[in-house]
Amino acid sequence: MKLFDLIILLFLSGCATKYILPGNRFITPESQGSIFRGQMEYQQTRATQLTIDTSNGTVDDGVLYEDVMRSGFLLSNSLIDIVDFVWSHTGGSASMLGGKLQFLGGSRSQNSAGPKASVVVLAGGNDYETDDKEIKFNLGGTEYLLLYGFRFGPAILTYSSLSYATYDFKGTINSNDPVLNGLRPALQSQLMTLTGGLELTYSPFISKLEASYQKLQTSDSKDQSSLMFGYSFGFNW
């Protein structure tokens, strides 16, 4: 667990008036199957960086959007044959924990061809304070995913997902600038994402390519639509 704690601390470094919302999740519809069967992967993905607009001496003017590349990881571990524990993290965003329930098709351990479908629920958040204690903030979120895929054989799985997520940013500014000092930014973002992906397996190793179309709505800000691409690689045990 110390390794994962270190990864999160590294991902959370940066300016507190900027925060990250994920673009890709790399979650497939297959559960791992068999008790304590697991999967760990490293990701490189596009994400959206949101910067609070303080140019007018206020935190009520919404955010500025920017597409960025971020590292991340995904850990899945089976609890029972059709249920997985899931831990997903994109650098600079909230750590998300939850579960996957597969209701159609065989699990990964069964390695059976055919259709697969599952639902995933994730929730999480992070509290943070900058080194200079200029701002404290919390970023929390909830995500719901409906996934469908088709396994063509032991090596090839195609998948898609439709997801809805909400993220809340709440902070307190302690600044030498008297105009900004004491302000409490509070923003909510809604993300609707349609994803398609390809997973290739060469046991025990896996790799994924994923593309997502995402619509992002944030308080007091214009809507943002983006196409996001990423890849991941990892292993099963």
According to the model, what pLDDT value does residue 9 have? 35
Query: Is the pLDDT assigned to residue 2 strictly greater than 70?
Result: no
The whole-model pTM stands at: 0.86
Alpha-carbon distance 36 to 20, whole Å? 31
According to the model, what pLDDT value does residue 62 have? 87
According to the model, what pLDDT value does residue 131 have? 54
According to the model, what pLDDT value does residue 215 have? 97
Domain ranges of the chain: 2-228
Query: Is the pLDDT assigned to residue 165 strictly greater than 60?
Result: yes
The closest of 210, 134, 218, 207 to 172, measured between CA atoms, is 134
Q: pLDDT tier at 4 (50, 70, 90 boundaries)?
A: very low
Token pair in block for residue 200: 């290739």
Query: Which sign does the torsion angle of CA 46, 28, 214, 98 carry?
Result: negative
Token pair in block for residue 176: 């030498």
According to the model, what pLDDT value does residue 234 have? 97
Q: Does residue 65 or residue 53 have the better pLDDT?
A: 65
Among 27-36, 37-46, 172-181, the minimum mean pLDDT is found in 172-181
**In the 3-class helix/strand/coil scheme, how is 106-173 assigned residue by residue?**
CCCCCCCCEEEEEEEEEEEEEEEECCCCCEEEEEEEEEEEEEEEEECCCCEEEEEEEEEEEEEEEEEE
Token pair in block for residue 37: 């069967």
- Beta-bridge mates of residue 146: 119, 162
Query: Is the pLDDT assigned to residue 91 strictly greater than 60?
Result: yes
According to the model, what pLDDT value does residue 60 have? 83
Among 8-12, 135-139, 185-189, the minimum mean pLDDT is found in 8-12
Q: What are the residues whose beta carbons fall under 8 Å from the beta carbon of 30, sequence distance 6 or more?
A: 102, 105, 106, 107, 108, 116, 118, 149, 151, 157
Alpha-carbon distance 104 to 123, whole Å? 24
Query: Is the pLDDT assigned to residue 92 strictly greater than 90?
Result: no
Query: Is the pLDDT assigned to residue 132 strictly greater than 80?
Result: no
